[in-house]
Amino acid sequence: MAKGSKSIFFCQNCGHEEAKWLGQCPACGEWNSFVEEKIGTGISKGSTVSARTVRDAVPVSLSKVSASDDVRIETEIRELDRVLGGGIVPGSLVLVGGDPGIGKSTLLLQVCQRLAKMKKILYISGEESQTQIKLRANRMGEFAENLLLLCETNLGIIRAVIEKETPELVIIDSIQTMYSEEVTSAPGSVSQVRESTNVFMQLAKGLCIPIFIVGHVTKEGTVAGPRVLEHMVDTVLYFEGDRHASYRILRAVKNRFGSTNEIGVFEMRQEGLKEVENPSEYMLSGKPENASGSVVACSMEGTRPILIEIQALVCKSNFGMPRRTAAGCDYNRVNLLMAVLEKRIGLPLSNYDAYVNIAGGIRMNEPAIDLGIVMALVSSYKNRPIDEKVIVFGEVGLSGEVRAVNMPEQRVAEAKKLGFETCVLPCVSQKMVKEIKGIKIVGVTTISDAMDFI
């Protein structure tokens, strides 16, 4: 290495490098995101790659590489296994992000509790002492002897311990506390986070050890540090939900070994996170009786149908500018559907305030809940309650037509399982669910047809 160091400006949003400070990042367009950091001058021009390294780098034919889905490690937490795509893949690097206190460390400690019965696990903490981790573990129950604790932030020491102990699973809590002595910037900076993630990626791939990394999030809800951090890992999991509420939602926004459409639902209790096996029943608990502006709709999260309660409140506006609020669904989508109601049905909603909420705090953006939002708005406007045993779903177009949605059979089957007696759905989808008995199927082509029936 050449002597001395130089200053480089990094974009905190995407990790882009520049030799001087810029007001706007040319890569991602973010303003005032560059920070100055000291780095080494790098390898001298005369350096060469060793002969051993060249000898070890031998290309292999893809047809000769063996792979099997049976090598996944099941965590015995079915909601987590569902989000991961069936279990933990050996050699994978998983990033877990979420708000402070949402339950990231609690979930990973529960994973350690179940896997430590048969596998050697190393839990590395840079934020808590061994006593603090023990106090948290006492609330969960007994832990096997295979769970090893290490409270360290030095990347060199951590790498040596992992190579020496060769555990079968490693937990890093958190990546923002790790630092490398070869990087002169402070822990949590762009350079340190990127260097630490690169080291753990090499360890995971080289030793075939799955590594879970806990990442802090910014006020915007994204993982702190450069976006390149999410590009380097194999899977990115986000914990969603209000930290003061009892429910938690685990969602994969990136997964190289499975789908990103699946979610896991948990309930926070004193002894830790408990799986919610039937999210639909959980989301519909406490639904008001004979209340206008309330309707049950169905949304798909991957292969799982989830029944949700959509609430709407429409009241006369006292000002010239009506107020619109949407919680749990897209605000612009609500405005669009209200414009369709005013144009196609003739409801004078331009003089009314409108508030739309998805009960339970869950967020849904699927177009299949359009018909539910429309029916909730009409119910509140006319102050007429909708039958509690009726469920609706379907996409609404600008002409007021009700369009088809995917997987209607699973949606109707879930509604029947929870005791619903009538299902209002698009006519195009009605043909696919005729074989389901025990629930009345009503097909509609426009929102006018749905309003006439309901």
HEC states along the chain?
CCCCEEEEEEECCCCCEECCCCCECCCCCCECCEEEEEEECCCCCCCCCCHHHHHHCCCCCHHHCCCCHHHCECCCCHHHHHHHCCCECCCCEEEEECCCCCCHHHHHHHHHHHHCCCCCEEEEECCCCHHHHHHHHHCCCCCCCCEEEEECCEHHHHHHHHHHHCCCEEEEECHHHCECCCCCCCCCCHHHHHHHHHHHHHHHHHHCCCEEEEECECCCCCECCCCHHHHHCCEEEEEECCCCCCEEEEEEEEECCCCCCCEEEEEEECCEEEECCCHHHHHHCCCCCCCCCEEEEEEEECCEEEEEEEEEEEEECCCCCCCEEEECCCHHHHHHHHHHHHHHHCCCHHHEEEEEEECCCCCCCCHHHHHHHHHHHHHHHHCCCCCCCEEECCEECCCCEEECCCCHHHHHHHHHHCCCCEEEEEHHHHHHHCCCCCCEEEEECEHHHHHHHC
Helices 104-115, 130-138: crossing angle, 10 deg rounding:
80
Calculate the average pLDDT of the chain.
87
Residue 227: pLDDT band (50, 70, 90) is low
Question: Which amino acid, one-letter code, is at 433?
Answer: V
Q: Is 102 annotated as a binding residue?
A: yes
Q: Is 91 annotated as a binding residue?
A: no
Q: Is 105 annotated as a binding residue?
A: yes
User: Average of pLDDT values for 90-100?
Assistant: 91
Name the burial class of residue 344, with classes exposed (0-12), middle (13-18) and buried (19+) by CB atoms within 10 angstroms of its CB: middle
User: Average of pLDDT values for 401-409?
Assistant: 93
Q: Is 104 annotated as a binding residue?
A: yes
Query: Quick one: pLDDT at residue 396?
Result: 96
R_g over Cα of the chain: 26
CA dihedral (332, 334, 337, 341) positive or negative: negative
- pLDDT cut 70: percent of the chain above it: 91
- CB-hemisphere CA count at 13 Å for 190? 20
Q: Is 103 annotated as a binding residue?
A: yes
Q: CATH fold of 282-453, please?
A: Ribosomal Protein S5; domain 2 (3.30.230)
In this predicted structure, the answer to whether residue 391 has a pLDDT above a threshold of 90 is yes
In this predicted structure, the answer to whether residue 150 has a pLDDT above a threshold of 90 is yes
Among 80-84, 196-200, 300-304, the least confident range: 300-304
Query: Quick one: pLDDT at residue 398?
Result: 95
166-196 residue pLDDT tens: 999 999 998 989 999 888 778 877 888 888 9
In this predicted structure, the answer to whether residue 312 has a pLDDT above a threshold of 60 is yes
Residue 221: pLDDT band (50, 70, 90) is low
Separation in Å, CA 412 to CA 216, 378, 448: 39, 23, 22
For the domain 72-277, what is the CATH code?
3.40.50.300
* pTM summary value: 0.77
User: Average of pLDDT values for 109-123?
Assistant: 94
In this predicted structure, the answer to whether residue 4 has a pLDDT above a threshold of 70 is no
360-389 residue pLDDT tens: 778 888 999 999 999 999 999 999 999 999
In this predicted structure, the answer to whether residue 36 has a pLDDT above a threshold of 50 is yes
Query: Quick one: pLDDT at residue 285?
Result: 82
Structure tokens at 265: 């639902």
Question: Which amino acid, one-letter code, is at 411?
Answer: R
